[in-house]
Amino acid sequence: MSEDIQLLIDDVVAKALAGDMDPINNIEDRVTRSKAKAALVKAKRSQPKTEIKSNASENSDVKAKDTIEQVVIASLSKNFSNFLDGEQNGEWIQIKAENWFEIAKHLKENENLYFDSLQCNTGFDLEGGMLESRYNLHSMKHLHAIEIRIKVSIENPDIPSVESLWRVADWFERETYDMFGINFTGHRDLRRILLPEDWEGWPLRKNYEEQETYHGIVVPKVKEGWE
Amino acid sequence: MGVVHGQEMVLNIGPQHPATHGVLRLQVKTDGEVISEITPYLGYLHRCFEKHCENVTYEQVIPFTDRCDYLASMTMNFGYVVAVEKLMDIKVNDRVQHIRVIMAELQRIASHLLATGVFGLDLGAFTPFLHMLRDRERIIDLFEMTCGARLLYNYMWVGGLSHDLPKGFVEATLNFLDYFEPKIDEFENLLGHNKIFVERTADIGIMPAEVAINFGVTGPNLRASGVNWDLRKDDPYSIYDKFDFNVPVGQGIKGTVGDSWDRFYVRLQEIRESVKIVRQALDQLPKDGDVHQSMPKKIRPPKGSIYSRTESPRGDLGYYIESDGSDTPSRLKMRSPAFTALGVLDEIAGGWLMSDVLAILGSLDIVLGEIDR
Amino acid sequence: MGLLENRFDDNIVVEKLDKLLSWARSTSPWFFQFGTACCAIEMMAAAASRHDLMRIGIIPRSSPRQADVMIVAGTVTMKMALRVKKLYEQMADPKYVVAMGSCATSGGPYWQHGYHVLKGVDLVIPVDVYVPGCPPRPEALIEGLLKLQEQILEGRPLTRKTG
Ligand code: SF4
C-alpha cells in the first residue's frame, strides 16, 4: 500500500467515526474502499463503547408493554399518513405499496426501530387476483423483528424496490419476481434469477401450468409421447 | 500508484467447473488480471423445492429439506421441525432435544470439515482434503449407525425422531471425539499456517462488517468479519442455552479482519466449539424418554404463519411457513444462508486478481443445492 | 505355427486386436467429474479416502476432453440440460455415460412437481449404466463402474455393428 492511500484511508476512517460515511462510500477504487471499510471496523472495535449489539431494555421509546408492531405503527404515523392497508391483526403490518420505499427507509434508519437486516422476502399468491410480498425485518441492535405485508393486484403488480436500502433485497426481489411475477420498480437489474431467461410463466402462482417443451425437451411428467 | 487501463475482457467460469462447487456460472469482467465485476448466474440446480412443499404434506417436506443442503442435512431437518413445532406449539422431551443437538453439532463438524477441505483443494492443497474427508467418513459412520443413511438422513421428525439412538452410540461418539480432537490441531497446522495458503488467503477478499450485514451475510462468514452473532447464543432455540460454548469471531490474525483466512479460521474454531457442545450433550443425555412421545397423529397446524430461523453451518437458515389449516403448507419459503453469501461475491471480489476469485468463492462455503433450491 | 493351429476361430487377427483394445480401455476409464447435486458428494467420497476409486484405475478428470466416462451425478435441470449435451459432445470417442442416482435416471424425487427438472438424463444423451439410489452409496457407484468395465470388455470397437 503506498503512502498516500494510507493517508486517504486514515482520513476517511476518521470522518466515518465522526458519523459521516459518505467519504468512504465515495472512494472510486474498490480495493481501497474495502481496505478503508476494514480499517473502520478495526477502529470501531478498538473503541470500547460502540458495540454492535446493545440492550433493548436501555431504550426508552420501546416500552415493554407495547408489542413491536404497535411501536412501529406509532412511529410511522408520525411521519406518514394513511399508509396502512385494511385492518391489522397484530402479528404483521399490512401497508400500501405507494410509500413503501420511504417507510422502509424510516424503519431502517430510525434509531429506535433500526431494522438493519432484511431477513426474508416472500411472495405469496392470495388467489382471487391478488399477490402479496412479505418482508421479515430484524434488528440486530434491538433484537426485535416484524413482518410487513404488501398486497398488489395481479394485473398491476408493482411494488417499490428496497434493494438500495438492504442490498440483500437485490436477489430476494429477483427471486420473488422470478417465481410470482411481482414487478419491483426501481430495481437496478430485475431479471429472472433461477429459471432461464426464456422461461414462460410464474411457477409459484397457484394456477401455474408447466410449459410443454423447453428447447425441444419435454417438460411434463407424463411419459406419453416421449419417444 | 499509476493504473494502466487495458481492454475489458469477459470471462466465463462454469457452469461446469471443478472450483465452483457444483453448477454455478460466473461471468467475470476483467481488466487485465484485475477483476472489475462478477455476475453470478444461478439456477442450474433449481429443483422447485417450494413448489414441492405446496404439494406434499408436512411430513413429506422433510426429505426435500435434506436435499437442499446436502452437506448439512441434519441441520436442515432441525430448522424445519423447529419451525413446524413452533407453529403447532409442540413441546418435545429432553432426550429428543439432546439427541437433536448432538446430531446437529456432529453435522456442523462434518460440514465444516468438507468446507475447509475443499477450500484447500481449490487452492491446490490436496492432502488436507483427504485427511478431512477421512475424518468426515467417521462422522458419517455415526449417522449411518443411527438412521441408516450416509448423506440424506430424514432423521428429525416433527415432534420427535425417526429412531432412538442405537446401542453403543454414545461410546462410539466419545471414541471418535477422543480421536478427533488432536486432529483439529493437525488440520490447523497443515493448512492454516501453511505459507502458501496464508499468502493466498490473508488480506484477500476482505468483507467489512457493515457490508456483511447489509448483504444479509450470516453464519461463519459474518462472524469472520468481527460481528459476534450466532443464533445459538443470541436467539436460542431448542436447548442451546444449556450449553457452554464460545462464539469464535474473526480477529485478523494473519491479515485484516474479515479476510478469507479469517473465514477459514472461524470454521476451524467452530469445529472445536461443536466438539465441546457434543461432549456436554452426551454427558447430560437423559436416560429415558420416548423419541416418538410427542409426535402428532396428523400434522395440521392452525391457520397462521411463522418465520423461524436456526443456525445452520452456513448461517441463518430461515423457514417461512404459511399454513391454511390443511395438512399441506400453503407456502413454504426457505431463506438460505448460502444464497445471501453468494450475493456478496461481486462486492468483495471486485478489485482482486483473477486467481483470488476462487479463493474468495471457496472461503464463502456455498452449497448450490441450497442456493437454487 | 503348430502351437496356434486350430486353436482359434476364423478372423483371428481382428478378434484379438479387438479384444486387446477393449481390454486396454476397460482398465482405465478416466471419468469426467460432472457432479451437480447431492450425488456428487457421494462421488467425491468414492474418489477420496476409504473408497479410493483409483485402485481400479478410475481417475477423476476435470475436463471433458480428457475423459472417457461421464458420470452424471445429480439432478439435471432444464437450464443445465443443453450444457450437458454440449459437454457430452466435447468428449472424445469412445465415450460412455453413467447415470448416477435416481435423479439422473428418471428425475428422482422431483419427478412429479419438478417443473424445472429433466426427468432422466437419457432424454438428452445416451446412457450406458444406471446406478439407482438416492444417493447411491459409494459401493454402488463402484459396482456400477465395474459393470461398465465389463461392458467395455465385451465391446468390439473394430467390428462394425450391423443392424
Ligand atoms: S438422486 Fe437423490 S441424492 Fe442424487 S441428486 Fe437426486 S436427490 Fe440428490
What topology does CATH give the domain B9-372? Answer: Cytochrome-c3 Hydrogenase; chain B (1.10.645)
Q: What's the complex ipTM? A: 0.85
CB distance C81–A210 less than 8 Å? no
pLDDT digits (tens, 9 = 90+) for A108-129: 887 777 888 888 888 888 878 8
**Cβ contact B67–C36 (<8 Å):** no
**Minimum-distance CB partner of A170 among B207, B259, B343:** B343
Which range, of B95-99, B206-210, C11-15, C158-162, averages the lowest pLDDT?
C11-15
Are the C-beta atoms of B275 and B246 separated by less than 8 Å? no
pLDDT at A65: 61
Interface test with C, best of A217, A222, A227 (most C CBs within 10 A): A217
**CB atoms inside a 10 Å sphere around CB A212:** 10
For residue A147, name the pLDDT band (cuts at 50, 70, 90): confident
Q: Specify the pLDDT at position C7.
A: 67
DSSP characters over B70-83: TT-HHHHHHHHHHH
Single-letter residue type at B208 = P
User: Is C79–A226 a contact, with Cβ atoms under 8 angstroms apart?
Assistant: no
Q: What is the CB-side half-sphere exposure of residue A20 using CA atoms within 13 A?
A: 8
| Mean pLDDT to the nearest integer, A161-190 | 86
Domain boundaries, given as residue ranges, for chain A: 1-47, 48-218
Q: Which of A32-46, B89-103, B227-241, B335-349 has the lowest mean pLDDT?
A: A32-46
Residue nearest to atom 5 of ligand 1 (CA): C74
Report the DSSP beta bridge partners of residue C107: none
Average pLDDT, chain B: 85
Average pLDDT over residues B273-285: 88
Distance (Å) from CA A206 to ligand 1 centroid: 27
The answer to whether the Cβ–Cβ distance between C37 and B18 falls below 8 Å is: no
- pLDDT, one tens digit per residue, over C45-104 is 888 778 888 888 888 888 888 888 888 888 888 888 888 888 888 888 788 888 888 888
**Strands (E) located in B135-183:** 156-157, 160-161
**Residue scoring higher pLDDT (A141 or C145):** C145
CA C37 to ligand 1 centroid distance, Å: 7
Using one digit for the tens of pLDDT, what is the confidence trace for B47-82?
888 888 888 888 888 888 888 888 888 888 898 998
Helix (H) / strand (E) containing C129? strand C129-131
What's the pLDDT at A205? 83
How far apart CA A40 and CA A56 sit, in angstroms, is 25
The arithmetic mean of pLDDT across residues B227-243, rounded, is 84
Residue linked to cell 401455474: A208
Work out the angle at residue B62's Cα, subtended by the Cα atoms of residues C102 and B372, and round it to the nearest 5 degrees.
65
Taking the CA of residue C155 as centre, how many other CA atoms within 13 Å lie in the half-sphere pointing to its CB? 18
Question: Is the C-beta atom of C109 inside 6 A of ligand 1?
Answer: yes
Q: What is the pLDDT of residue A30?
A: 67
Cβ of C103 below 6 Å from ligand 1: yes
The yes-or-no verdict on residue A56 having pLDDT over 50 is: no
Across the interface, of C41, C48, C79, the residue whose CB is closest to B70 is C41
Q: What's the DSSP call for residue C160?
A: P
CB contact (8 A) between residue A120 and residue B234: no
Locate the ligand 1 atom nearest the alpha carbon of residue C133 and give its number.
1
| Inter-chain CB proximity A195 and C118 less than 8 Å | no
Chain B: partners with 3+ C-beta pairs within 8 Å? A, C
B98 in reach of chain A (CB within 8 A) = no
Residues of B with CB under 8 A from a CB of C: 15-18, 22-23, 43-48, 51-52, 55, 63-64, 67, 70-71, 114, 129-131, 133-134, 137, 140, 150-152, 368-369
Distance from CA of C109 to the nearest CA of B (A): 8
Distance CA B300, CA B293 (A): 17
Q: What percent of chain C has pLDDT over 70?
A: 87
Supply B27's cell numbers: 461471468
Chain B from 337 to 366: CB within 8 A of any A CB: 339-340, 343, 347-348, 350-352
Burial B318-336 (b: 16+ CB within 10 A, else e): bbbbbbeeeebbbbbbbbb
The domain spans of chain B are: 9-372
Phi first, then psi, for residue B121 (nearest 5°) are -60, -40
Q: Do A221 and C111 touch (CB under 8 A)?
A: yes
DSSP helix/strand/coil, C70? strand
**A61 pLDDT band (50/70/90 cuts)?**
very low
What would the mean pLDDT of A64-72 be, rounded to a whole number?
72
Cβ within 8 Å, pair A116-B213: yes
- Confidence class of residue C123 from pLDDT cuts 50, 70 and 90? confident
Q: Which CATH architecture has domain A48-218?
A: 2-Layer Sandwich (3.30)
Angle at A61 between CA A59 and CA A66, to 5 degrees: 110
**C98 touches C71 (CB < 8 A):** yes
Q: What are the backbone dihedrals phi and psi of residue B215, each rounded to the nearest 5 degrees, phi first?
A: -85, 5
Atom of ligand 1 nearest to the CA of B70: 8
Pick from B52, B67, B71 the residue to mutate for probing ligand 1's pocket: most ligand atoms within 8 Å of its CB: B67
Cα of C36 from ligand 1 centre, angstroms: 9
Cell of B55: 404439494
Residues in chain A, total: 227
C78 to A219: CB separation less than 8 angstroms, yes or no: yes
Statement: the pTM of the whole predicted model exceeds 0.90: no
Geometric angle at alpha carbon C35, from A203 and C113, rounded to 5°: 25
A vs C: CB pairs below 8 A: 27
Q: Is the pLDDT score of C18 beyond 80?
A: no
Please give the number of the atom of ligand 1 that sits closest to the Cα of C102. Answer: 1
**What local confidence, expressed as pLDDT, does residue C161 receive?**
58
Take residue B367 and report the three cell numbers written for it: 452449497
Task: Count the neighbouring beta carbons within 10 Å of the beta carbon of residue B145.
Answer: 15
Angle at A160 between CA A155 and CA A164, to 5 degrees: 150
DSSP state of A199: -
**Ligand 1 in contact with C120 (CB < 6 A)?**
no
Q: Is the pLDDT of residue A162 over 60?
A: yes
Q: Residue A9 pLDDT more than 50?
A: yes
pLDDT exceeds cutoff 70 at A47: no
Specify the pLDDT at position A49: 41
- Asked if the C-beta of B43 comes within 8 angstroms of chain A's C-beta atoms, the answer is yes
Report helix, strand or coil for A214. Answer: strand
What is C31-154's CATH topology?
Rossmann fold (3.40.50)
